[in-house]
Structures are given as structure tokens and as C-alpha cells.
Chains A and B, each alone.
Chain A
Amino acid sequence: NAGVTQTPKFQVLKTGQSMTLQCAQDMNHEYMSWYRQDPGMGLRLIHYSVGAGITDQGEVPNGYNVSRSTTEDFPLRLLSAAPSQTSVYFCASSDVYGTKNYGYTFGSGTRLTVV
């Protein structure tokens, strides 16, 4: 049971480049979400999904796109990277309300640097 897997772990991009951060979970969780962590800011929600085909914006969605074509995968796309998107990105998944594990399980994160 791998849990939540994020790839890559580290990435350097040039300003204006696009890329996709991958996130996959093998726990059959309905809920998934993406966060960014900046120094002194805690974690902030970018986008979330409550099931395949359903996504919505979080607190800081600008510059990012998501899709959820399967239960397992929830990729995050940076359309045109900017230095302000330099951050550590976390993907997380959760079981549905009422279950024992109704709490988000996090991946190990991706450190992204935009130069």
C-alpha cells in the first residue's frame, strides 16, 4: 500500500515553462486536494476534488489547473511558471465522511523552483 505518491520530488523550471505535478493514490479515496507551502505561510489550498470529474478552486488557484479523470489520479498543471510559484507542493487524499480515516493523508511533496 503506497498511499499518496507524488512525482517528481524536486523540479527546476524556467519562467514561462509549463509542467504537470503528478499525484496518485491507491486507497480508493474520493477526496483529493493540492496545497502549496511557503515559509511562514503554512499550507494553502490550491484546488480540490470530491470525486472523479468534480473539481473546484481553493484559496490560491490562479496559475494552476487540475482535472480528475480517475479516482486514483489528480495532476496539477502549471500553465506558465512564474517565480512566485516557487514553493513546496503537497497532494493529499481522504476517505469519505463517517469513515475511520476521515482525515487527509499527504504525499511527500514536490519542491519546485522557478528561475
Chain B
Amino acid sequence: AQTVTQSQPEMSVQEAETVTLSCTYDTSESDYYLFWYKQPPSRQMILVIRQEAYKQQNATENRFSVNFQKAAKSFSLKISDSQLGDAAMYFCAYRSYVAGGGADGLTFGKGTHLIIQP
């Protein structure tokens, strides 16, 4: 079974600055997907960014980018130019490559609470 670890229960950053959230995972699979989800106080789960394990290039979505280190099993999220609306819980999640015979569904870390200081 896969496990996902987020070692930072809470992070705080000044508005307009950059923050990096950490995520490590454990798996014996070679093909998989990794995601970052944002959960604001509304509790809606919002997909922020995804990374396919077979791609060496790090994914980027506007102010959000990842640092994917497959050998180290690390998948950190960098938020640039932090905004007040970025304040939320952030969850790292793992998904097996179903077409390769893996089970489906997401395995989540326990989350990081991100606070934006004005």
C-alpha cells in the first residue's frame, strides 16, 4: 500500500512572498500520479496541480509549481506571490496508474494548514 506524508501541519507566509509545502510518499509502483488539492473553509476540494510520474518536467499552473523528485519520492508545492485567497488546507495525494492494473482512488496526506499574513 502507498503512504503519503506531509510533515508540516501548519505553515505561515507573508502576503506576496513564496512558500513551499512538503510532501513525501512511499510506493513500489513505477507509474502513478501525484496531486495537490486545496480545501478552503468552504470545505470544497479543489485540484491545484497534478504531476505524472513518467514526466521529468515539473508541472506549473500559474503561481503554483511543483518540485518532483521521483528517486527521492518527494513532491513539494511552491506558491509564488502568495495571496490572501491561498489560505486553506493543502493536501498531497497519490493515485496509482489504473490502466497498469493498480487499484484506483486517492491516498491523501494529512494536510498542511497554510496561513497568509497580510
Contacts and interface: CB of A to CB of B under 8 A. Distances in A.
A42 B109 contact: yes
Interface stretch (B65-73, B75-83, B95-103): B95-103
A82 interface: no
Interface residues of B, number: 25
Counting chain A residues whose Cβ lies within 8 A of the other chain, the interface size class is 20 to 34
Q: Does more than half of chain A's interface fall in helix, strand or loop, or is it mixed?
A: strand
A40 interface: yes
Interface string A14-38: 0000000000000000010101000
Given A40-B110, A97-B97, A97-B99, A58 B105 contact: yes
Interface of B: 1, 33, 35, 37, 43-47, 50, 91, 93, 95, 97-99, 103-111
